[in-house]
Amino acid sequence: GKLIKTMFGRGRRIRGKTYAKRGRIKVSTNKKLALSIVPLTTLCLGIWQTKRLYWKLDLIEKREKQINADPSLLPSGPTHEMLEDIQFRPFYIIGTFLHDQEQYMMNRTYDHKPGCHVITPFRRADTGEIVLVNRGWVPLDKKDPRNRKDGQVEGLVTVIGLPRISEDKPNMFLPPNDPRNNTWYYRDLDAIAEHTGSTVGYIESVLDPNIAMPVGGQTILSLKNDHFEYLLTWLVYSLSLMLITSGLGLLSQVSS
């Protein structure tokens, strides 16, 4: 046969007939390497999320055991390290509220209603120490204690609550704490203690059905756990990319 040029380029002679060369799908070595690394990376991320999942499940189990424990007397002279170790475990203290030194943690909601948390120094009867007690939530129109006189309990009382630790300022848009007006936007225990003459101790009281305001039990006890969804996402990505890489490899072999 004769060699004939076609619109597809140079032809070739096969048994006297002319055919156009088939186009080849070529995948360079660098691209093959990249396509291999990406699914491997997503697989590693999936394995990492598996470890994070079991870590979070253990943390949730520990939290449930802590909050369901029987209340015990809060240790005297609590330090930051001690509070971090015992937080979310119920403790009780006996003493009197110093209502004239109330502090207010603003921008707090309850049942989708705006308000604030009332933090009241509490003088312990056994040690004389002054501990900060977050008594709970009140609506803004009840921030003034004169509008919730029934909740301003006097005399010796027992308070059950969960110790908490300080928190950093959540974001740059949050206003700074304003001790001069007894107004706080995030939990800076050292600053609140210095302002009120209290110790480092701080507990968030549980719900007291006998007191309408403040509404106790405002501690967020649930832990968000999205690690299983993240695990599935990374594994699906890894499997999809592996299939794509294998498909490209097969096409390259067939066309060669």
**Among residues of the chain, what percentage have pLDDT more than 70?**
71
pLDDT for 254 beyond 70: no
Check residue 28 and give its pLDDT.
56
Amino acid, single-letter form, for residue 135: R
Give CA separation, 163 vs 89, 199, 230, in Å. 7, 13, 32
Which residue reads 């291999």 in tokens? Answer: 36
Q: Which residue type, as a one-letter code, is found at position 233? A: T
DSSP letter, residue 21: P
Structure tokens at 238: 């890894």
Judge whether 16 and 1 are in contact, CB under 8 Å: yes
pLDDT tens digits, 166-204: 888 888 888 999 999 999 999 999 999 999 998 868 888
Tell me how crowded residue 241 is: count the other CB atoms within 10 A of its CB: 19
Residues 6+ apart with CB under 8 A from 253: none
**Residues 6 or more apart in contact with residue 154 via CB below 8 angstroms:** 96, 97
Query: What is the per-residue DSSP string for 182-194?
Result: TEESS--HHHHHH
Q: What is the pTM of this model?
A: 0.66
Q: Which of 219, 167, 223 is nearest to 52 (CA)?
A: 223
Strands, E, within 145-228: which ranges? 157-163, 183-184, 202-205
In this structure, what token pair is assigned to residue 187?
């939990």
pLDDT digits (tens, 9 = 90+) for 24-59: 545 555 666 666 676 677 777 777 777 777 777 777
251/79: higher pLDDT: 79
* First-to-last C-alpha distance (Å) of the chain: 25
Q: Does the structure show a pLDDT above 90 at 239? A: no
